[in-house]
């Protein structure tokens, strides 16, 4: 009906949050604008914490986060607005171990015990049995391991520590999971670039970076043993497989961690990233625009993800989300 109107006013929708999915979000909003020129979606990549704060304050129309909101944050939103907020997974990300061991060119295998031990500061040499047993035939040196982690608060750190918390009770009780933690050992690098730079420069270093960053910069990274005992290299397919493995037990609110997910081909350090959408809108046109966008994102939008190295959602999750979209009123 409005399509016939020559100068239909542009509806501007504002969102803010996670920086990890920003490239794909920008692409999506751009493509969606081409499809529906009357809707302009603006996105500020201010970080997941900022996204949660802004949507709770009500200063943006939707938020975005690399980690699901915790119960306190959900309650804070509910208390302030009188209705709940909903999570919608959009794409998948992963964290990968990257290393610089002089004389070793082989792709290294990391068991959960080895990774937890290294980052707890207990596995201190490259030829520790925990590493050597998973890498038969590789001549690992007896040098001290230098651990590198993110110094800035980050969704990547959240995924990494979430994984370590699942595979190591000691990590869970001593350190825990968060966007920043009290690291037992190691040096801090700022953002993916900082970690990658430190690992590249420092002999015998090991760190973790986002999968997309590793792919785009052609960095070497290791395989990680998943819950089925397979050593899996992170790539688009193995990350999607992790989400598919988790789809069976998907909670209704999509707040699920898919680290160490079941599935033979699942890469264990994977995660969703979410849009945070209020369940009630006072402005019906905004509500329809956001619902329209999410519908498109779950269908056509998913075909744009792999060109930017994001893993797409498995089909099961897409249909679950389409059903959940009705909750937005």
Partner 1 sequence: MASTSTTVPSAGPVVGSRSFLARLRDGDEIARLITFLFAASVVFITLLIVYELWQGSVLPRHKFGFAFFRTTVWDPNADNFGALPFIFGTLVTSALALLIAVPLGIGAAIFLAELAPARLSDTLEFFIDLLAAVPSVIYGLLGIFIVVPVMRDVVQPALKNTLGFLPIFKGPAFGIGFLTAGIVLAIMVIPYIISVSREILLSVPRDQREAALALGSTRWESTWKVVVPFARTGIMGSIFLALARALGETMAVTMVIGNTPSIAMSLFSPGDSIASVIANQFTEATGELYTQSLIELGLVLFILTFILNGLARVLILVTSQRGSAHA
Q: How far is the CB of 204 from partner 1 (least distance, A)?
A: 10
- What residue has token string 């493509």? 31
Q: Which is nearer to partner 1, 177 or 312 (CB)?
A: 177
How many other C-beta atoms are found inside a 10 Å radius of the C-beta of residue 36? 14
Q: How far is the CB of 43 from partner 1 (least distance, A)?
A: 15
Q: How far is the CB of 98 from partner 1 (least distance, A)?
A: 17
Q: How many residues does the chain have?
A: 329
Q: Which is nearer to partner 1, 199 or 298 (CB)?
A: 199
Q: How far is the CB of 180 from partner 1 (least distance, A)?
A: 5
| CA–centroid distance for 202 within its chain | 27
Cα–Cα nearest to 154, from 271, 43, 27: 271
Determine phi and psi for 241, rounding to 5 degrees. -60, -35
Q: How far is the CB of 152 from partner 1 (least distance, A)?
A: 4
Radius of gyration of the chain (CA): 21
Q: In angstroms, what CA-CA distances link 123 with 114, 119, 167, 177, 306?
A: 7, 8, 15, 20, 36
Q: How far is the CB of 149 from partner 1 (least distance, A)?
A: 9
Q: In angstroms, what CA-CA distances link 45 with 71, 94, 198, 200, 214?
A: 23, 19, 25, 27, 20
Q: Which is nearer to partner 1, 47 or 314 (CB)?
A: 47
CA atoms within 13 A on the CB side of 107: 11
Q: Which is nearer to partner 1, 79 or 249 (CB)?
A: 79
Q: Which is nearer to partner 1, 49 or 263 (CB)?
A: 49
Q: How far is the CB of 27 from partner 1 (least distance, A)?
A: 23
**Residues that bind partner 1 in the complex, under the rule CB under 8 A:** 46-50, 52, 67, 70, 72-73, 144, 146, 151-155, 175-183, 186-190, 194, 197-198, 201-202
Q: Which is nearer to partner 1, 19 or 260 (CB)?
A: 19
Cα–Cα nearest to 107, from 117, 94, 98: 98
| CA–centroid distance for 166 within its chain | 16
Q: Which is nearer to partner 1, 14 or 204 (CB)?
A: 204
Please calculate the CA angle 197-270-67 and round it to the nearest 5 degrees: 90
Structure tokens at 276: 């945070």
Q: Which is nearer to partner 1, 128 or 152 (CB)?
A: 152
- Give the end-to-end CA distance of the chain in Å, rounded to a whole number: 22
Q: In angstroms, what CA-CA distances link 209 with 140, 196, 206, 313?
A: 22, 7, 10, 21
Q: Which is nearer to partner 1, 200 or 295 (CB)?
A: 200
Q: How far is the CB of 290 from partner 1 (least distance, A)?
A: 24
The residues, any chain, with a CB within 8 Å of residue 210's CB and separated by 6 or more, are: 20, 93, 94, 95, 96, 156, 192
Q: How far is the CB of 182 from partner 1 (least distance, A)?
A: 4
């Amino acid at each position: 009906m409005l399509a016939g109107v020559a100068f239909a006013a542009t509806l501007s929708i504002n969102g803010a949050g996670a920086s990890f999915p920003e490239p794909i979000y920008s692409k999506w909003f751009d493509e969606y604008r081409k499809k529906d020129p009357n809707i302009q979606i603006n996105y500020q990549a201010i970080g997941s914490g900022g996204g949660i704060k802004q949507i709770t304050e009500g200063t943006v129309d939707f938020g975005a986060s690399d980690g699901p909101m915790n119960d306190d944050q959900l309650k804070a939103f509910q208390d302030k607005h009188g209705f709940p907020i909903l999570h919608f997974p959009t794409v998948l990300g992963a964290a990968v171990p990257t290393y610089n061991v002089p004389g070793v060119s082989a792709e290294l295998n990391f068991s959960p015990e080895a990774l937890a031990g290294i980052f707890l500061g207990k596995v201190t040499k490259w030829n520790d049995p925990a590493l050597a047993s998973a890498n038969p035939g590789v001549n690992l040196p007896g040098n001290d391991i230098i651990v590198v982690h993110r110094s800035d608060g980050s969704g990547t750190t959240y995924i990494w520590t979430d994984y370590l918390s699942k595979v190591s009770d000691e990590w869970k009780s001593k350190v825990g999971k968060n966007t920043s933690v009290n690291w037992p050992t190691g040096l801090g690098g700022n953002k993916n670039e900082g970690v990658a730079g430190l690992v590249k420069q420092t002999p015998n270093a090991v760190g973790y970076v986002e999968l997309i960053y590793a792919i785009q910069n052609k960095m070497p990274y290791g395989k990680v043993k998943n819950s089925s005992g397979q050593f899996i290299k992170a790539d688009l397919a193995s990350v999607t497989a992790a989400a598919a493995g988790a789809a069976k037990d998907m909670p209704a609110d999509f707040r699920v961690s898919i680290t160490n997910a079941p599935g033979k081909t699942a890469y264990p350090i994977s995660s969703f990233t979410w849009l945070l959408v209020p369940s009630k809108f006072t402005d019906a046109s905004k509500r329809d625009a956001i619902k329209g966008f999410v519908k498109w994102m779950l269908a056509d939008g998913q075909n744009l993800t792999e060109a930017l190295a994001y893993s797409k959602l498995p089909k099961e999750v897409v249909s679950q989300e389409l059903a959940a979209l009705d909750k937005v009123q």
